[in-house]
Structure 1
Amino acid sequence: MSRKQAYSRSELLDVTKRLVLEHGYDGFNLKLLSQHLPGARSTIYQYYANKDEIISACMKRAIQSIMEKASALDESDASTALQELLAIYMEEFKFHQLLGDSYKIKTNGSEETRANVEYVENAHEFLKVQLTRLVQKAQQEKLLRDDIPLPVHVGVFFNLISTPNMMNVPVSQWSKLLFDMWMGGAKK
């Protein structure tokens, strides 16, 4: 008769995400993870074989959530879709830190890890294509300046996500302020 796990896979990934964001990929290890979970460290291995498998699963779960929301957007109104897309990204703004460490993950030891990292890369490409399409549409509709190259608009949009919320306002309000600034500029 096997022992019941002291935590679920979801709880394990929640703690992993928090610890990777706090300590970075290099500072994260299974000993640290086990110190933040009930039960023995060996319980972790009932779910994942190693650090890279856990982190890649965590990354995949985070980007799946973003993908589901982004895929459901109504893109008929470019401005509204861009504003909603920024709000989606802002909800998971720390995810971009996690994604930045994907190149460190060793995929040669596990098919699951390789598949997770491949999924993350493909999802990131999908999101980039979606954003590019919406920015192009906004430029065609004269909502965004067409004299500014498309990669600049896309780059600035992505950089909005990492803008510090020095006012400590709710994410939805912060997202709207940043969007209005991006769309309208700082001119009076």
Structure 2
Amino acid sequence: MGFLQTLKLFAVTLIGAIPLGLVVSFGSMSRFTPLRWLTRTVVWVIRGTPLMLQLLIIFFIPGQRLGSSPWPSGESGRFLAAAIAFIINYACYFSEIYRGGIQSIPVGQQEAGLVLGMTKKQIFFKVTLLQMIKRIVPPMSNEIITLVKDTSIARIISLQEVIWAGYAFLKGSHGYSGLTWPLFFTGVYYLVFNGGLTLLFGRVEKKLDYFK
């Protein structure tokens, strides 16, 4: 159960945060000053406060203010709240990586594209985006590996992820008390999971070497 919840939270966060982060990065680079400053302020707040605090606020505060919790009861409600908190948090981190990658592409390449008659959309997707992907793979891989470990924070709202499941054996929730080996097993799980991701991102970087 714990392993499946961890994998689901990891996958849902990536599916939501990767595209949302790109949208947020456009807001951070917008020429419309109010939008740019609003977006950067939100990113600053999210990146400057602990994910655990954000998770607690999203899960508990709406219920206190509205009189009843907006989240479904049981495990599904806790998972939904955790997913939203993780998506918002990681979208803000990803947005800064996207922004750095986009702004690292020389302006001269965009000017050359305009001279050749390309539209701004064509320049972004055919020139800027492909080069940006190669440059952001290392920092993105670091954030994604961090995400694997951060899923353990969801236990603060009693979401039954891997660490929660391992700790349950220690405190006797499954009819056994004082068992420590499940906690070490959760560590092995994270090591194997992150080891697989490290190998995957290493192969992706090699595939993108043609942009050198």
TM-score (norm 1): 0.28
TM-score (norm 2): 0.26
**Which structure would you say has the larger Rg?**
2
Relative contact order higher in (CA < 8 Å, ≥ 6 apart): 2
